[in-house]
Amino acid sequence: MHRVLGGCAMKGNRWVDPAPFEGARPQVPWWVWLPGWVKLVLAPFALLWLALRLAAKFVMLTVRYPIAVTAGLGGDVAYRQFGLSPLVLALLSLVCALTVWYGLDRDSFLRHGWYRVLTEWRRLSVYVPQWRTVMRLAEMTKEVRGKEYLPKLRRVRSEGWRDKVRVG
């Protein structure tokens, strides 16, 4: 005689254990267990830490891409000061200058202009989002005491039909 009691099967008088839980238990951060008043007291410090981290990221972005950051901030200042028309005129002038550069010296334009833009685009859209997965599939990761270590993506360089990737 088989009976189901509370989702677990029973055969006569013998208890049959349900299948063990095979999934990973969800992990929650340690601060979730803190009382609400402690979180309220620590919130300003967490916001300050977040603001400092964002400022450091902006400084690193400025160091890595000084022309792009300067042009972006200059464009914002010009838009606020003079309106949209001068900004559109400046962008069209830039496009015309790049077109003239391409027409006069195509190799120089590709090497110093287009390939650098292409490099950053490929780095952001291809390599960075899939880096961890590719390193795992290539079995280039190491695990020590439950922590995963994988090679860092150092430099990407696009050269038209191929990409050179430096790993460290």
- Identify whether the C-beta of residue 151 lies closer than 8 Å to the C-beta of residue 142: no
pTM of the model: 0.55
- Identify whether the C-beta of residue 147 lies closer than 8 Å to the C-beta of residue 133: no
What is the rounded CA–CA span in Å between residue 132 and residue 151?
9
- According to the model, what pLDDT value does residue 106 have? 92
Confidence of residue 147 (pLDDT cuts 50, 70, 90): confident
Q: Which of 133, 128, 126, 124 is nearest to 141 (CA)?
A: 133
What is the rounded CA–CA span in Å between residue 53 and residue 46?
10
Residue length, the chain?
Answer: 168
Q: Which of 17-31, 43-57, 67-81, 86-100 has the lowest mean pLDDT?
A: 17-31
pLDDT in tens, 44-86: 999 999 999 999 999 998 998 888 889 889 999 989 999 999 8
Q: What is the DSSP letter of 105?
A: -
What is the rounded CA–CA span in Å between residue 77 and residue 63?
20
